[in-house]
Structure 1
């Protein structure tokens, strides 16, 4: 449970997909003047150095942000976040979802980040520098304890590593529980698309729950290295903001060109 370190995978095609959707949703949500809450269950370290040995060992970022960033319009919030991170931290920086949230949101918004890995948690606190409430906590427990949050408008990102195989079985129930407590919240789940298709039952169960305004975005891409089992990325969003269907379709066209 505590072995996963995202630095090996930061900036890969799945990150591009996930972070582009997240940045778009946060930009859209922050257009309204009322404050909002952002909660993330598995935050990681927030800011990654793609020149680090761990990132270079896999080379996954070259197939993701290195290849795809220029495909985004200059004013797309994902591209803006990456460029802002590089202005602040250097040309090889890559922002994780907590950094993107802090970049897209406003001082009056609340950000709660859960990270259980001690080293990742320490790096997360350093990266956020008071921009968020950082919790050394199980992310599922934190989300349940905070919902409904104050402010009540907002977004929950569920982004586990899926090292715990039972996540595929427990996440649909967790989403239903959170939605019952926080029926106006945007709930976004990221999941890997693997060659064995293990995500399919989980997504069918979520779709069968008849949750409101559900949008699913799935993209596929070539394996980033020989023997790599991930061949795509998925996001399913409950209470999806208006226009997310169009954004998801644009991302699908972009990934189809890979």
Structure 2
């Protein structure tokens, strides 16, 4: 399906959760003097205008990044990426995950960004022109599978589907398994929504049962964006979790719990041997 456009939801609370963890992981990978490859399977447009009518219509950014940004220290890689974006594009701009990755890139790093939606792809190409990123108007999962393992071999892949259909939930554990088989050293991050319908629950159960190495599952809860809205939380599942990301997840969990007395959600961390650490 190609109806989803993230501009309506850019900078919402799920973005804060997902993008803060993404930035922290990329920052850690960038500390070693070795180049990395970054993949995205559902890249979106890369750069968002939070003053656009679509964003203003939902008000999700006002409840999300505009409220939560002051809670991040200035040196946090997520805060740095936002500050740089706003210096370049204005105070109401917001970086999507491709731009966050690009702003944390170093010489020698490479990025491949896949996006099928024609309008989103055109905007992505324009946003990424100044950076060392290659945009692909292709199915992102199929593209990643065809390119893994990449060169440079160190790196990270973000899977961030729209979950417009139930089939996405059913397919993601299968895709993650095969991507890990092909790229066993890659950091693989899957984002998913926490929904009142519970449609995500079976996918999470399957992911937990797969015994991926160095797996981290972290979820945060928050109040719905508006009455009747079904998303009440955000989750990430990470394979080959980088050092320090578990600590960052715990810090983010505490941050979310301070907001609106948001319901705490349990996180589950699995050791590299596949045994639960709590």
The two structures share one fold, judged by TM-score above 0.5 = yes
Paired position in structure 2 for 1:150: 151
Runs (5+) with no aligned partner, structure 1: none
CA shift digits 1:47-81 (9 cap, x unpaired): 00000000000000000001000000110011111
Query: What is the alpha-carbon distance in structure 2 between the residues aligned to residue 204 and residue 233 of structure 1?
Result: 16
Query: In structure 1, what is the equivalent of residue 183 of structure 2?
Result: 182
Separation (CA, whole Å) in 2 of partners of 1:213 and 1:200: 21
**C-alpha contact 2:42 2:140 (8 A) present in aligned 1:** yes
Runs of 4+ in 1 over 6 A off after TM superposition: none
TM-score (norm 1): 0.99
Instruction: Provide the residue aligned with 2:208 in structure 1.
Output: 207
Listed as ranges, the matches of 1:178-257 within 5 Å are 178-257=179-258
* Aligned residue number for residue 56 of structure 1: 56
Deviation at 1:198, TM superposition (A): 1.4
Displacement of 1:227 after TM fit?
1.5
Tell me the residue number matched to 1:14: 14
Q: Deviations over 1:170-202 (max 9, x none)?
A: 110111111111100000000000111211111
User: Shift in Å at residue 130 of structure 1?
Assistant: 4.8
Counterpart residue number, 2:116: 116
Deviations 1:70-109 (A, max 9, x none): 0001100111111110000001000000000000111211
Aligned with 2:42: secondary structure? coil
Q: Determine helix, strand or coil for the equivalent of 2:166.
A: coil
For residues 186 and 104 of structure 1, the distance between their equivalents in structure 2, rounded to whole angstroms, comes to 16
Query: Could you say what secondary structure the match of 1:33 adopts?
Result: coil
CA distance in structure 1 between the aligned counterparts of 2:214 and 2:185, rounded to whole angstroms = 11
Question: What whole-Å deviation, never above 9, does each CA across 1:139-167 have from its counterpart, x for those lacking one?
Answer: 11111011000100000100000013201
- Residues in 2 aligned to 1:74 and 1:239: alpha-carbon distance in whole angstroms: 27
Local SS of the residue matching 2:141? helix
Query: Which secondary structure state, in structure 2, belongs to the residue aligned with residue 251 of structure 1?
Result: helix
CA shift at 1:169, angstroms?
0.7
The two structures, once aligned, show a CA RMSD in angstroms of: 0.7
The TM-score normalised by the length of structure 2 is 0.92
Provide the rounded CA distance (Å) in 2 between the counterparts of 1:45 and 1:91: 18
- Unaligned 5+ runs, structure 2: 260-278
Quick one: distance in 1 between partners of 2:83 and 2:165?
Answer: 34
Q: What's 1:26 paired with? A: 26
1:151 and 1:224 map into 2 onto residues whose CA distance is 40
